[in-house]
Amino acid sequence: MPRVGNQSSNQGGSTRRSPIFHLIVPLLLVTLLAACGGGGDSDVQEDRRFATDPEPAPTEVPATVTPLPTPTAPAPTEPAVSASPEASPVPLRSTVSNVFALIDGAVVVADSAGGDSRVLAESTDERTFELITPLPDGTGVGVIARKGTEATWELLLFSIDGKARSVRTDLAGILGSGKVGLNGGLAASWSPDGRRLAVVFPDGGGVVVHLDGTTQLLLTRGQAPAPLDVAWSPDGEAIAFTSRDLDDQSPYLAIGGARILPLDPVRIAGTGGQRPIHRITWSPDGEHLLVIQGAAGQPDGIGGDLIEIDRRTLVARFAVGGSRFGPGARVVVAEAAPDGQSWAIVTAAPGPSGGLEATVWKTAADFTGITRLDLGENPPVAGVIWTEGGLTVELHRAGDLVAATFDGDGRAITPATPEASPMPAEASPIAPPIVETATPVESSED
């Protein structure tokens, strides 16, 4: 995921994210409690006003920008070979069986069907793991590492058995020098076929790196001065991203066709202003994308409400508010099931003991029929991912990764272990992680 972060993400799914996740951090604890202290009704009203805003005038979208390609057949002028493999129908059921996490600088993997987690690799003095993004089929994981003190980014690829190779040792090299202090983030998303990875950087810009180590320019630093997230569409035809504006630091959402790089992005009208826009998730059919829109003046790590964008019309609308899931609740992650019939939602809200409490919900595609998953009291949720068994929740306990999987009706297949156990520590049912020596990485220079 942490992004709840971006490290799993989804995976599968967001694979973004990244991927998926870094959920509850000290900043979120302090800021969200302050934001929710006033009740939450005003936030809902603000969101509903956004939902009913009149459609923007056509002049808000530059007339010189070509419309985003949709999943229709290629134009006659394009060669037949341009229909790439990732444009094939999206499978209706996940084939992913492995769950990955980045815990205390170590890449950890667990089977969604249960069993102990194990460490694939660990950060070193020379190489610090910053973000993981699992391959769409779950057979491996991409790891973006920071090398040295000059923030040189490297992409490593780890298989399930722990074997690794360096794909690219200087990811951002083609971007040149960037500006510092624009408050961007590191994010990545695989193409559906798992052969290319879109990466955006904290100091601006983005690239697409191929598994053979070659890179292409995805976004210039001017197009994305301070990126927050990036997501490849399920059909491989489009890439969406969020960034802060260079002039006033306000966030915005943009989208562009992925067949010709770099992107020629279109900003989505109605997603600017001072409210954070982040955490992009596509619907499985690629027709819509959802983003989390936070509250004005709040950091990006604070969740918010879901805004849906129609890919064909580029019109944004209010989808569902965090308050739908309880008083003071904010959405921090949304992941669609492969068949498009269900969504997994993670929310954070003030708990009865005064701290924050994460909750995982399963809902229908129209956000009705909401079911709360039984994870015990105040579970340490780190992300969600749809696996071959159903909906798997990632829990981080004492440096270990615990995978709890639920079927279509929300019944536990692999239940979560209660956080507080009356048993002595030496008899704890939570198996300690198997600490292994990090697999040496064969470095391949550019």
- For the stretch 37-61, pLDDT in tens is 443 332 323 332 333 333 333 323 2
Q: Coil, strand or helix: which one is 86?
A: helix
pLDDT over threshold 90, residue 437: no
Residue 115 lies inside a defined structural domain of this protein: yes
pLDDT tier at 115 (50, 70, 90 boundaries)? confident
Contacts 24+ apart (CB under 8 A), 348-354: 348/23, 348/24, 348/28, 348/32, 348/303, 349/36, 349/322, 349/325, 350/32, 350/33, 350/36, 351/378, 353/378
Mean pLDDT along residues 364-392: 92
pLDDT tier at 20 (50, 70, 90 boundaries)? very low
Residue 143 lies inside a defined structural domain of this protein: yes
Q: Are strands 412-414 and 400-406 parallel, antiparallel or unpaired?
A: antiparallel
Q: How many degrees, rounded to 5, is the angle at CA 219 between CA 445 and CA 228?
A: 100
User: Shortest CA distance to 282 belongs to which of 356, 191, 193, 197?
Assistant: 191
pLDDT over threshold 60, residue 10: no
pLDDT of residue 294: 86
Look up residue 434 and give its DSSP letter: B
Mean pLDDT along residues 194-217: 95
Residue 154 lies inside a defined structural domain of this protein: yes
Q: Coil, strand or helix: which one is 27?
A: helix
pLDDT of residue 295: 79
Percent of the chain with pLDDT over 90: 50
pLDDT of residue 227: 92
pLDDT over threshold 50, residue 98: yes
pLDDT of residue 23: 44
Residue 62 lies inside a defined structural domain of this protein: no
pLDDT over threshold 70, residue 203: yes
pLDDT of residue 89: 52
Neighbours of 14 (CB within 10 A): 37
pLDDT of residue 420: 38
Cβ-proximal residues to 337 (8 Å cutoff; 6+ apart), any chain? 94, 284, 343, 344, 386, 391
Lowest mean pLDDT, pick from 173-177, 178-182, 334-338, 386-390? 178-182
pLDDT tier at 19 (50, 70, 90 boundaries)? very low
Number of domains the chain contains: 1
pLDDT of residue 208: 98
Written as one string, the DSSP assignment of 243-254 is EE-TTT--EEEE
Lowest mean pLDDT, pick from 166-170, 180-184, 205-209? 180-184
Neighbours of 440 (CB within 10 A): 8
Residue 43 lies inside a defined structural domain of this protein: yes
pLDDT of residue 181: 54
Which residue segment(s) compose the domain that 218 sits in? 26-56+96-427
User: Shortest CA distance to 99 belongs to which of 428, 441, 396?
Assistant: 396
pLDDT of residue 207: 97
Q: Which two tokens stand for residue 177?
A: 């020098």
Residue 106 lies inside a defined structural domain of this protein: yes
pLDDT of residue 300: 64
Cβ-proximal residues to 412 (8 Å cutoff; 6+ apart), any chain? 373, 374, 404, 405, 406
Cα–Cα distance between 332 and 318 in angstroms, integer? Answer: 16
Cα–Cα distance between 378 and 368 in angstroms, integer? Answer: 24
Burial class (CB in 10 A: 0-12, 13-18, 19+), 435: exposed
Q: Are strands 390-397 and 381-387 parallel, antiparallel or unpaired?
A: antiparallel
pLDDT over threshold 50, residue 270: yes
What average pLDDT does the chain have? Answer: 75
Mean pLDDT along residues 273-300: 85
More reliable by pLDDT, 50 or 254: 254
More reliable by pLDDT, 179 or 41: 179
Lowest mean pLDDT, pick from 45-54, 352-361, 367-376, 428-437? 428-437
Cα–Cα distance between 32 and 350 in angstroms, integer? Answer: 8
More reliable by pLDDT, 227 or 180: 227
pLDDT tier at 179 (50, 70, 90 boundaries)? low
Percent of the chain with pLDDT over 70: 70
Mean pLDDT along residues 215-235: 94
Mean pLDDT along residues 73-86: 34
Neighbours of 250 (CB within 10 A): 15
Written as one string, the DSSP assignment of 313-353 is T--EEEEE-GGGGSTT-EEEEEEE-TTSSEEEEEEEEE-TT
The CATH number of residue 247's host domain is 2.120.10.30
pLDDT tier at 209 (50, 70, 90 boundaries)? very high
pLDDT of residue 315: 92
Residue 11 lies inside a defined structural domain of this protein: no
Burial class (CB in 10 A: 0-12, 13-18, 19+), 61: middle
Mean pLDDT along residues 324-338: 93
Residue 313 near residue 55, CB atoms below 8 Å: no
User: Shortest CA distance to 226 belongs to which of 207, 209, 241?
Assistant: 241
pLDDT of residue 91: 56
More reliable by pLDDT, 427 or 232: 232
Cα–Cα distance between 117 and 318 in angstroms, integer? Answer: 39
Lowest mean pLDDT, pick from 161-175, 267-281, 389-403? 267-281
- For the stretch 294-326, pLDDT in tens is 877 676 667 899 999 999 999 999 999 999 999
Residue 129 lies inside a defined structural domain of this protein: yes
pTM above 0.85, yes or no: no
